[in-house]
Structure 1
Amino acid sequence: MKKYDLTVSIVLFKSNPDIVGQAIESVYKSKLNFKLYLIDNSPTDELKSLKKDERTEYIFNNKNLGFGKAHNISLKKAITESHYHLVLNPDIYFGENVLEDLFKYMEENKSVGQVMPKILYPDGTVQHLCKLLPTPVDLILRRFFPWGMQERNKRYELIDSGYNKIMNIAYLSGCFMFIRSESLKTVGLFDEAIFMYIEDADLTRRIHQHYQTIFYPHVQVYHYYAKGSYKNFKLMLYNIHGAFIYFTKWGWVFDRERRKINQRIVNEYLIN
């Protein structure tokens, strides 16, 4: 018997307590039976003060395990503890009934293994976080040669879809991953070889092989979205390392599944 409707994990690393506090308060607005895991990769345990009550468990790792490996601490628990698990970035906030609405959608759609709501900047503009499965060229051009790539990037981020309809997408952002816990038994957890970046593409793609992975625009959340790898050399190296692992696993040039999935998405959502 599952103890919780929902478990939630937020991974911390020298995080701004005021920003994280907004994420925590958002979770605490929920009327679902939930448990929140604060998993701290910081060098000190100063953020343990963010624990509010017994519904929150604070886990101090005393070292930086990376994004996926830290979240896996709670995902392993979610498989037996909860019906659903939310991987939540510390820089996201949202209003009442968001988690209830997503829970209801998943309960009514058993073929869905993962759902992501519409992600907005604090000013209300849309973040284009539904993507085609990446090729090495996509990631290289986006990171190092962004000029002149507007049309290719529009296609990659599915901008012309309008972000106003339900879409079955194989690459959803890791900032807000509402996952059916049962699916984790089938596909496994985050790939711990990837320290951070693109582990969301890897996990969503594995879930997509067995379930629908849905963008659900009828629910909205807000995301500060710092794009750290574009500002920090060390984070850029993590990004490159993660991409190397991802493409070595799935294929650099020859990836028939990627081609088939991307063509299906383009035909369904970009071609009128």
Structure 2
Amino acid sequence: MITSSIVIYSTKKDIEKEEELAKVVKCTSSSIIEKIYIVDNSPTTALKEFVESLSCKIIYIFNNANLGYGTAHNIAIRKSLEEGFKYHIVLNPDIYFEDRVIEILKVYMDQNQSVGAIMPQVKYPDGETQYLCKLLPSPWDLFGRRFIPFKGIVEKRNHRYELRESGYNQILNVPCLSGCFMFLRIQILENTGLFDENFFMYCEDFDFYRRIHKKYKTIFYPEVTIIHAHKKESYKNNALLRMHIKSAIHYFNKWGWFFDRDRKLINKTVLDKIHSLK
């Protein structure tokens, strides 16, 4: 019924990463998920024995190359499609959650056939909310808030872009959610396509959700919560920052930079809905 995939990458022994992976696999194994694809983009199979020891549900896939985030997840998603599973969950290796989360989300998906994807409430380990519900981004949203030095202006824009006015306490149909936890209805992917493999890392989830949202609902469901130990590594690593910028450029080349009619209409619909609920 349900499969999941986690993409990993490591060039050396990394106890912290292994502990994170063990935690998410433990959560996933104790749930109703039937198969857990661990897709390894690392340069060697050094992690294979450790990964396979974590759960009998694991199917280890070694790529012998760093294919990128979306391309690696596509390998697992295609397997789920071929085997006729109903749902697939894309997971980051740095999250964890209670057993009931998957079951509750499945019930919601079963009862709402118009929903193509769903994401729960996401919090930091200290309990702080992660603002992962977003409007479709403009160039200002992806570039301006990183490089404009005026904190007040950036914060005001982020408040709108991250839909903070919603209070993050109600079910919403949001066009742009996070790739850290993507509960997907498998059959819809035949109509929307999988991850765009031209993205190596970053922004592939924006693009993926946008294509799903055009045809199905993409739901934020705050009645269950997961924990995401998000480190915002591209804010600290220049190589990752360059990768992030490259992906953002590809996103806007694909969808439009300043003239994007769909973005304007979709964002207005979301904001109007939030205002109507106040």
In which range does the TM-score fall when normalised by the shorter chain?
Answer: over 0.9
May I ask how many residue pairs the two structures share in their alignment?
267
> For 1:177-222, what per-residue CA distance to the aligned partner results, in whole angstroms no more than 9, with x for missing partners?
0000011111111000000101001000100011100000011000
RMSD of equivalent CA atoms: 1.2
Q: How does 1:48-197 map to 2 (within 5 A)?
A: 48=48, 49-51=50-52, 52-81=54-83, 82-145=85-148, 147-148=151-152, 149-197=154-202
2:201 match: secondary structure: coil
Counterpart contact for 1:119–1:127, Cα < 8 Å: yes
Q: Percent identity of the aligned residues?
A: 50
TM-score normalised to structure 2 length: 0.93
Partner residue of 1:240? 245
Moved more, 189-198 or 42-51: 42-51
Counterpart contact for 1:158–1:270, Cα < 8 Å: no
Partner residue of 1:46? 46
What is the CA-CA distance between 1:44 and the residue it aligns to?
A: 2.0
Partner residue of 1:221? 226
Deviating beyond 6 angstroms after TM superposition, the runs of 4 or more aligned structure 1 residues are: none
> For 1:2-28, what per-residue CA distance to the aligned partner results, in whole angstroms no more than 9, with x for missing partners?
xxx111000001261011110000101
Instruction: Return the match for 1:11 from 7, 11, 30.
Output: 7
What is the CA-CA distance between 1:80 and the residue it aligns to?
A: 2.8
Q: How far apart, CA to CA, are the structure 2 residues paired with 1:104 and 1:216?
A: 12
Unaligned stretches of 5+ residues in structure 2: none
Unaligned stretches of 5+ residues in structure 1: none
Counterpart contact for 2:5–2:89, Cα < 8 Å: yes
Q: How far apart, CA to CA, are the structure 2 residues paired with 1:157 and 1:35?
A: 33
TM-score normalised to structure 1 length: 0.95
Q: How far apart, CA to CA, are the structure 2 residues paired with 1:33 and 1:135?
A: 36
Moved more, 44-53 or 259-268: 44-53
Instruction: Return the match for 1:204 from 205, 209, 214.
Output: 209
Counterpart contact for 1:8–1:35, Cα < 8 Å: yes
